[in-house]
Structure 1
């Protein structure tokens, strides 16, 4: 069973055809690309450069020098908290100090020319410094302030400064105008305003805008230019970057930020030490008082008991009790550490529990022995223990006080500057290569879009009915043949489709055209036919050659004349040299018909080339020699086919139409516009001639639908210049 032919998907996008359309519009695309590159270069030139300064900070572990028991200090996480420190570095506490130290709330901006202001301010261009241009900033201009103080009501408001011959003139926010000199303080006590211009390097007439912004705005501005990140997770190394338009200013600001951050870190560490010292100082008097009370109680009891001292046995028990209690305290500390790593069933943990149980039993036994002592000895034992305990606490507090005082005096914090601020030599933005590449891509995309939209809007004829609606009958519809499409072929020799592919559908259409013309020319005054088109590449030469071959194959004597005296190329189908005499020579009287005719590749077919391109083709065609030639051809041939140039390019087809019997217009499917056909008809009517019919060439069923926007990529308009071809000697 035969397989049915696969249907063509009408919605399929023909990428190859789109590529061909874009290639046909390569000049437009290249123009847009060049314009985009120029716009990108201009934008790059007028965009101020952005430089980056960077610094490295190291966050060290906190040493845990606070007045806490060792067991509690082990519970404190001393690892560097990078995320926390990043936020601290960008806090108002740190940046506010930088703003205050460097006066970053002062703003000084030169007035720049529109569009090219940044270029003028950065480059020394040969533009005259006259007229209105004298007020705009130029390369090398500068103004620095030593002092600026404005009242609160003038915060964030602009103060205009204009350079004068002997100093400067200010226009204050309230409209008041005052003058000052460089290096001298200018103050208005009534308005709480003061300004000191430290240096001014600019020509007279230059203008500046000065303002003092509020602290929060200044801090937010600096914060927006700072970026902080950690190098490696958990490394404790912070990379701080500052981006701005001035390399030196970037380094100065970033150094101030890192120094402010280090100072606040030291202050935080010193504050912790001071807090610990304050706590110790509050406990020392109480510990001392407890020690004095315990000593007084022991001394009073001894005096009442007539200076009774501890016996050797009692002293031994007291020593053992203190020793066991110290061992129990040490075991408790060890148990706190072991409990973080092992369970109670682990041998190490079980050993600790057993040791503690043994010591507790020993302590209970010692306390039982102390209970068996005489009453006086027991009392002295208890009082002595109180004195020793109070003495030990007081001594530890004194020792800790001295340690914390040393710590406070030598506090350095846990932040260290590894690399101070440094700025790269080249700006990080804008990137010249990136700007130009993006501009080129956008230009190419825009150019391709314009070409495709332009081609889509170029809605050519879709079928024969579009031509017939204009009042022009259609003799035949020639299907598109890829084998017969010679567009872009630069070879000197071209093949004739009717000879190389006699079974092609387009060839069958030419046979139908031959029949239609046979009956359509019965009443014609001459057996001659002129073929033209509205624009180049419509296929008129292709039509003329194949029609002539088909008619000759049917037994008719055919003469094919290349009537394009400007750019005729039919000789390429027949292998005729350029300088062979032809139509132009006959019309000029320099040659006769028989000497110019060339036998064609099939029997009964003759070819008359253009001859030498004349300087006045229209005037040459208007001579009576053309009508005489047509009459002579009628006597020798059954059909003479004149291949004429496009009607919208030159008037030659109208002139030829007065001498021949029939004139036919070739329109190309989805390429030739209906408006072009109407213009061609009006051109013939204005000359008193008539177009007898049309041929629809290059019909492609895949593109034969309403609104199909693109054709074969031939974007010719009415302005196409049909110029002479230069002959080669």
Structure 2
């Protein structure tokens, strides 16, 4: 009997709209509340501004011109750059810390506005009427708001909040102080001094708040509001964004950050140049002493011997020896540089301070590349350590690269040093050969050549070092930053509150919240709410739909709707049921119709009374039997005697003729009341006498309508249903549970009966309903009423408005 569970269902939007439109006032109230909340958020929340700046980062991976490419000596100290490394630098804690220490942001100042006991503050930046000067010998009280109320041109009131938030009533101590007077507490002290922005006419009576920030923690807060992103994938330009509660502070921070970034980049290059010059100066200091000594010796020898020059042969030997000595001096300087590099390798020093080999005329591409790579790796590790621990995988990977590159550099240096030692040995051997030839000259010339040789050697080395120092100085003087500020910081809009977005969200939430509540409520509602709930669950035909009347539900003891209001919609619904009965068990002339339900208060007695009444009005001889002996009601509604009744007949106390009672409402309507309540109603109904009774009355009456007990509660009515031509199950809208339909399917399957039909009772009609816009009210154990054409007003203007609005929707329905 169950419907196909895999049947595809379509969503009826129109039906849903008219289903929920009767709750229109929920949506109106919800939207009004949501818009009011959005208004207060927009009006009283703190405004956050955004500033933006763009910086050109020279990325070696993308090529491009750099300073020093035209003249090699100007490119001695160039550092290789990587876009993502530079972005990490711009977001590093150390760079932000350096920028903040170049700004005056250690103390924040706020204007005070008050709202419902709470303080609403607006940040004041560079326009405060006073400054806070802390005692440098004492630690400031960080992150605690101080309230300042300016009393006069010379005095102010100071109050310290006991809480780390702004509150109308701080509860702290108050002090009256003079501007410039030291306020000394147990562990801190400061002065408040007026500045050039102080205007007595504007500031006297005003209140301010200032908060001192810990500069060791402040960079972390700024980093959370700083964003650094590449402008796009095609260029090496990064965009910096910063959000703050004051647009001027946001702009100043970005400008300071980019300036410090460029200054540190240039400073790093200059540091390498300074190390180069320092190394050359050390070598010059050593050789200058030898040069002075050699010069003095040569001058003294010439004065003493009176010999100003040597012969031609001596001059040739001297020139050859001078050339070899110059080569030997240059190689010795280079070898000192190799020793200098090996010291960095062996002691694992930071290679960022190592200058380029080309500064000393060493043109070894592999050595240059290894030193440049090590310098970049050390710089990258230093940047990563700012925001990560030494166990970070990125740092560990960089350490491995440093170890590998250092090992390669060490091997390369030792190979170069060995080659340098071979060349120095060869030069020394050739020098020795020339010296042997000089030794054959006369003694005076030989001594003069020796002295001249020492002087020329020292002079050549000294001039070589001076030349290299001049080149390093030129390179240092020509150093410029590798990066460039494209756009200085500028105002880029308000981040929050976003007024239009907040109002839009409020409208959406104001609509979605009540809608969601209604949908969730309907989802968990297990009651039968519409005809579709019935037709989807069972295949039994719908005999009729009885409408609901909200007004009539307030009246009591009005069960005889058919007789009391013959033209009401309820009566018309029962007439439709009477017509539909002709198509059930049509082969039988006289019919027995049992009326039952799954539980009490679904309206079966009401339906039995009025169905029997409307059939009697059609000139059909009708008998109404009250078979619900546990809770009898029919005799009260018709004003007849309770005894003798059905129970009297079934126990053999009265005959059939004695228990049939005629009513005054219609000549064709007869009633058998339930009689006295017996102790065993189930056994009596299942007895042979009950079967005999049904057989006899079926011969005498055109229709026999039986009001049976609820079969979902007691089994009394099962025997009657088996012997009925038609079994009508009553389903009450918004009262009967959907599980009752499953029970009905199981009940019909067990009884193997196909004579079941359904009446939907108390149906509240809407546009998604089935025709009527009004109905009736009733209840099992309640009273009943019929439709009233026009309600009487009680004179209340709000009640009139409510009835008018609901009446409008009911008419639309």
Structure 2 residue 274 is matched with structure 1 residue 287 = no
Q: Deviations over 1:79-112 (max 9, x none)?
A: 3676257436754565456456424423334143
Q: Deviations over 1:123-142 (max 9, x none)?
A: xxxxxxxxxxxxxx9xx999
Q: Which residue in the other structure is 2:553 paired with?
A: none
Q: Distance in 1 between matches of 2:247 and 2:42?
A: 19
Q: Which residue in the other structure is 2:462 paired with?
A: 394
In structure 2, do the counterparts of structure 1 residues 542 and 673 end up closer, same or farther at CA, with 3 Å as the change threshold?
A: same
**1:163–1:202 contact (8 Å) kept in structure 2:** no
Structure 2 residue 104 is matched with structure 1 residue 102 = yes
Q: Which residue in the other structure is 2:439 paired with?
A: 375
Secondary structure of the corresponding residue to residue 494 of structure 2: coil
**2:150–2:207 contact (8 Å) kept in structure 1:** yes
Structure 2 residue 217 is matched with structure 1 residue 211 = no
| 1:31-180 correspondence to structure 2 within 5 Å | 31=28, 32=30, 35-59=33-57, 77-79=79-81, 83-84=85-86, 86-87=88-89, 90-92=92-94, 95-96=97-98, 98-99=100-101, 101-114=103-116, 144-151=128-135, 152=138, 155-156=141-142, 157-164=144-151, 169-173=156-160, 175-179=173-177
Q: What is the Cα deviation at residue 253 of structure 1?
A: 3.3
**1:478–1:697 contact (8 Å) kept in structure 2:** no
Q: Distance in 2 between matches of 1:115 and 1:633?
A: 80
Q: Distance in 1 between matches of 2:532 and 2:17?
A: 26
Q: Distance in 2 between matches of 1:190 and 1:338?
A: 62
In structure 2, do the counterparts of structure 1 residues 640 and 39 end up closer, same or farther at CA, with 3 Å as the change threshold?
A: farther
In structure 2, do the counterparts of structure 1 residues 405 and 442 end up closer, same or farther at CA, with 3 Å as the change threshold?
A: same
Secondary structure of the corresponding residue to residue 162 of structure 1: strand
Q: Deviations over 1:238-278 (max 9, x none)?
A: 43322113223322333333334444445545444444433
Q: Which residue in the other structure is 2:731 paired with?
A: 667
Q: What is the Cα deviation at residue 422 of structure 1?
A: 1.0
In structure 2, do the counterparts of structure 1 residues 446 and 14 end up closer, same or farther at CA, with 3 Å as the change threshold?
A: farther
In structure 2, do the counterparts of structure 1 residues 231 and 382 end up closer, same or farther at CA, with 3 Å as the change threshold?
A: farther
Q: Deviations over 1:555-577 (max 9, x none)?
A: 999xxxxxxxxxxxxxxxxxxxx
Secondary structure of the corresponding residue to residue 496 of structure 2: coil
Secondary structure of the corresponding residue to residue 110 of structure 1: strand
Q: What is the Cα deviation at residue 419 of structure 1?
A: 1.8
Q: Deviations over 1:6-30 (max 9, x none)?
A: 98449x9978489966862354674
Uncovered stretches (5+) of structure 2, i.e. residues with no partner: 61-65, 161-171, 335-357, 371-419, 547-558, 591-616, 621-662, 671-700, 706-727, 741-755, 762-767, 779-801
Question: Bigger CA drift: 159-168 or 303-312?
Answer: 303-312
In structure 2, do the counterparts of structure 1 residues 540 and 390 end up closer, same or farther at CA, with 3 Å as the change threshold?
A: farther
Q: What is the Cα deviation at residue 148 of structure 1?
A: 0.7
The partner residue of 2:517 within 450, 460, 468 is 450
Q: What is the Cα deviation at residue 225 of structure 1?
A: 3.0
Q: What is the Cα deviation at residue 394 of structure 1?
A: 0.9
Q: Deviations over 1:129-165 (max 9, x none)?
A: xxxxxxxx9xx99971432124546523332223547
Secondary structure of the corresponding residue to residue 173 of structure 2: coil
The partner residue of 2:20 within 14, 19, 25 is 25
Structure 2 residue 581 is matched with structure 1 residue 550 = yes
Q: Deviations over 1:306-357 (max 9, x none)?
A: 7645546535745775899899999x9666469989xxxxxxxxxxxxxx9x
**1:160–1:209 contact (8 Å) kept in structure 2:** yes
Q: Which residue in the other structure is 2:497 paired with?
A: 430
Q: What is the Cα deviation at residue 421 of structure 1?
A: 1.5
Uncovered stretches (5+) of structure 1, i.e. residues with no partner: 123-136, 342-355, 463-476, 486-503, 514-525, 558-596, 605-627, 642-663, 678-693, 700-711
In structure 2, do the counterparts of structure 1 residues 727 and 228 end up closer, same or farther at CA, with 3 Å as the change threshold?
A: closer
Q: What is the Cα deviation at residue 217 of structure 1?
A: 3.9
Q: How many residues align?
A: 511
Secondary structure of the corresponding residue to residue 527 of structure 2: coil
Q: Distance in 2 between matches of 1:71 and 1:100?
A: 31
Q: What is the Cα deviation at residue 423 of structure 1?
A: 0.6
| 1:470-509 correspondence to structure 2 within 5 Å | 480-481=534-535, 506-507=540-541
Q: Deviations over 1:266-299 (max 9, x none)?
A: 5545444444433333332212123344556777
Q: Distance in 1 between matches of 2:27 and 2:102?
A: 55
Q: Which residue in the other structure is 2:198 paired with?
A: 199
Q: Distance in 2 between matches of 1:298 and 1:409?
A: 38
In structure 2, do the counterparts of structure 1 residues 630 and 220 end up closer, same or farther at CA, with 3 Å as the change threshold?
A: same
Q: Which residue in the other structure is 1:224 paired with?
A: 224
Q: Distance in 2 between matches of 1:376 and 1:155?
A: 88
In structure 2, do the counterparts of structure 1 residues 219 and 435 end up closer, same or farther at CA, with 3 Å as the change threshold?
A: same
Q: Distance in 1 between matches of 2:488 and 2:431?
A: 65
Q: What is the Cα deviation at residue 71 of structure 1?
A: 14
Q: What is the Cα deviation at residue 178 of structure 1?
A: 0.7
Q: Which residue in the other structure is 2:485 paired with?
A: 417
Secondary structure of the corresponding residue to residue 128 of structure 2: strand
In structure 2, do the counterparts of structure 1 residues 366 and 259 end up closer, same or farther at CA, with 3 Å as the change threshold?
A: closer
Q: What is the Cα deviation at residue 528 of structure 1?
A: 9.4
Structure 2 residue 298 is matched with structure 1 residue 314 = no
Q: Distance in 2 between matches of 1:479 and 1:433?
A: 43
Q: What is the Cα deviation at residue 35 of structure 1?
A: 4.3
Q: Distance in 2 between matches of 1:481 and 1:61?
A: 73
Q: Distance in 2 between matches of 1:294 and 1:117?
A: 83
Q: Deviations over 1:443-485 (max 9, x none)?
A: 45433431133224543269xxxxxxxxxxxxxx999448xx9
In structure 2, do the counterparts of structure 1 residues 399 and 166 end up closer, same or farther at CA, with 3 Å as the change threshold?
A: closer
Q: What is the Cα deviation at residue 530 of structure 1?
A: 7.9
Q: Which residue in the other structure is 2:640 paired with?
A: none
Secondary structure of the corresponding residue to residue 460 of structure 1: coil
**1:94–1:261 contact (8 Å) kept in structure 2:** no
**2:543–2:759 contact (8 Å) kept in structure 1:** no
**1:99–1:219 contact (8 Å) kept in structure 2:** no
Q: What is the Cα deviation at residue 545 of structure 1?
A: 1.8
Q: What is the Cα deviation at residue 187 of structure 1?
A: 1.3
| 1:313-332 correspondence to structure 2 within 5 Å | 313-314=316-317, 317-318=320-321
**1:21–1:452 contact (8 Å) kept in structure 2:** no
In structure 2, do the counterparts of structure 1 residues 115 and 673 end up closer, same or farther at CA, with 3 Å as the change threshold?
A: farther
Q: Distance in 2 between matches of 1:40 and 1:148?
A: 37
In structure 2, do the counterparts of structure 1 residues 21 and 94 end up closer, same or farther at CA, with 3 Å as the change threshold?
A: closer
**1:227–1:242 contact (8 Å) kept in structure 2:** yes
Structure 2 residue 254 is matched with structure 1 residue 186 = no
